[in-house]
Amino acid sequence: MPNGPLMERGEGQMGNVGRPKQLDRFPNGEIGIVWQDGHESYYGGHYLRCACACACARCVEETSGRKLLDDRRVPGDVRAREIHAVGNYAISILWSDGHDTGIYSFERLRNLCPCCRSGESD
């Protein structure tokens, strides 16, 4: 693999996170992302599903942004069935529980990185 810069100049409107260098879906349902700065994030299926912030009237209340989704009602073994690119700023995930309206921007995914959040109290 060439070790050249993958950063594409001229896409400055994307914010400072950038498109992931690599995005993998593992057989166990985890999603792994390698970022432009080399940081690696691993997301469990349940974790990401519960972090869905779409306004489908089940996840988040559109008007207030309040979270409606009850994590306990999300199957513990929920996993990403399909991942689709949305423009060059986000991915949409089709979940095994049938939920398919969730869109996760790369910026939000970076903010959700479990290892970076481990110091925070929830």
Residues that bind Zn ion (CB under 5 A): 52, 54, 56, 59, 102, 113, 115-116
Distance from C-alpha of 67 to C-alpha of 61, rounded to nearest angstrom: 6
Based on CB atoms, which residue is closest to Zn ion, 35 or 89?
A: 35
Are 94 and 102 contacting, i.e. CB atoms less than 8 angstroms apart? no
Closer Cβ to Zn ion, 78 or 89, answer by number: 78
CB of 7 to Zn ion, least distance (A): 19
Q: How many CA atoms lie within 13 A of 106 on its CB side?
A: 22
The distance of closest approach from Cβ of residue 104 to Zn ion in the complex, given in angstroms and rounded to an integer, is 10
- State which residue, 89 or 95, has the beta carbon closest to Zn ion: 95
In the complex, the smallest distance separating the C-beta of residue 9 from Zn ion, rounded to whole angstroms, is 25
Between 13 and 64, name the residue whose CB sits nearer to Zn ion.
Answer: 64
Token output for 90: 């986000």
Measured distance CA(48)–CA(27) in Å, rounded: 15
Instruction: Show the tokens assigned to 27.
Output: 């057989």
Return phi, psi of residue 48, to 5°.
-70, -40
Nearest distance from C-beta of residue 72 to Zn ion, angstroms: 16
